[in-house]
Amino acid sequence: MIPVVGFAGEKLAVLGLGRSGLATARALRAGGAEPVCWDDNAAARERAESEGFTCRKLTREDAFDDIASLIVSPGIPHLYPNPNPVVKQALKAGVPVDNDIGLFFRSLATREWDRFEQLPKVVAVTGSNGKSTTAALLQHILEEAGRESQLAGNIGRGVLDIDPPGDGGVVVLELSSYQTDLARALTPDVAVFTNLSPDHLDRHHGMGGYFAAKRRLFAEGGPDRAIIGVDEDEGLFLAGQLAEGPGDDRVMRVSSGQKLMGPGWNVFVRKGFLSEYRKGRQAASVDLREMTGLPGAHNHQNACAAYGAARALGLAPRQIEAGLKTYPGLPHRSQTFATSGGVRFVNDSKATNVDSAIKALSAFKNIRWICGGLEKEGGLEALKGQTSNVVKAYVIGREAAGFAMQLDVASEVCTTMAQAVEQAMADAGEGETILLAPAAASFDQYDSFEKRGDDFMAEVARRLE
């Protein structure tokens, strides 16, 4: 646990009592503060009260009379699409609003660090797609190289729930726009921006607000090193804003598909080979083509970002290559989990938006594509012209028929996962891939993308027995 500092003897309100909310309340108490908790869910309040926390309805008129700060869980919208009434009441009362990420950055360093030979480092990874894989891949590389490391944030453990890092330890954080948007302190040593595509637009009131939330990770405190994916205009713009000149190697540009040259520090992949260039000269090359845990151009971009972050932490190219080779991949993210009769089965249930689905579709050939679910804002227009690798689509979800009508590829309305798997396996032949890449949220049929992916794998396993 990371005890929260700076609030001893004060009351702080905690809104939302899920994983991060309860961890925040515990960390506040460990630092000598008095958490005052609230969640609209009665069961969540009961869990908090069973641990000895006080619950108070934060919408009552005098709720913030004795509160020093309001800590909001990342899943709770605070401004858009509509102002949250609790957050608005806190702001009217002049009470600062923060989240667990802000508390983490203000509380991580302790006097014990004065005795360390090498100070701990924090690497924070954000972006629309690939941030989970990039963060997990970096942590795997560090482990393989013998560096103490922990994975937290939007993946792994809650940021305040981790162990205090030791001498030379590294904390790798995956941070969503929900987490960067509200944090009052954002001071990583290394910050990574993978890419940007439309997502969570209602929460951020459009693409401008979404990009602004991501940009805060680089603008609020200023990392020592910034690893920036420049395959989209926003990344190119961000790299330009951060660099003092063409040769400023505090900014490392990464790309999957472009050859990046110039006097700066660049990492890119072309034709399956990762290249590192610094001061106009090649420093290293890694062959990614046979690395089964990193299939496709999107994973090659993730490999570039993780490679760049590892280099910024001082690892040698061959150490990083060894970690890339042994990376098994993350569950539900381009996860090859079975092969049978020459057919490959890939679970990419995390492809919850159109852009991530397009990346998955480009990674494999001869695809039997299982897709569908709760459509996100923007519709499916961007999928058109991106399905050349698809033999046939098998559409699930409550609105499967409407979803199928928007596709520019042969499709079959299946509605349920069981029916989609049954039909795709009956149709598939040697050399084909049955891929779950929904291009939609899961909430019309499942509690989470993990549950959807688990169901897909279970249906496949049942038929392969």
Binding-site residue set = 127-133
Six token digits for residue 311: 């280099």
> Are the CB atoms for 294 and 300 separated by under 8 Å?
yes
- Any residues with CB less than 8 A from the CB of 258 and at least 6 apart, and which? 230, 231, 268, 270
Phi, psi of 181 (to 5 degrees): -65, -35
Cα distances from 181 to residues 2, 36, 110, 206, 373, in angstroms, run: 21, 23, 26, 14, 27
**Sign of the four-CA dihedral 68, 73, 79, 83:** negative
Helices of type H across 108-245: 131-144, 177-182, 201-204, 207-219, 233-242
Interhelix angle 296-312/317-326, nearest 10 degrees: 140
Say which residue the tokens 């990342």 belong to: 74
What is the DSSP secondary-structure string of 295-313?
-HHHHHHHHHHHHHHHHHT
Among candidates 296, 286, 294, which has minimal Cα distance to 136?
294
Nearest-5° Cα angle at 135, 123 to 184 = 45
Give, for 23, the enclosing helix (H) or strand (E).
helix 19-30
Among candidates 134, 112, 113, 115, which has minimal Cα distance to 123?
134
> Are the CB atoms for 18 and 161 separated by under 8 Å?
no
- Residues flagged as binding site for ATP: 127-133
The residues with which 268 forms a beta bridge, in sequence order, are: 255, 275
> Are the CB atoms for 403 and 374 separated by under 8 Å?
no
> Are the CB atoms for 71 and 96 separated by under 8 Å?
no
Question: What is the C-alpha separation between 342 and 326, in angstroms, rounded?
Answer: 24
Question: Could you tell me where the beta strands, DSSP code E, fall in 289-407?
Answer: 335-340, 343-347, 367-371, 390-396
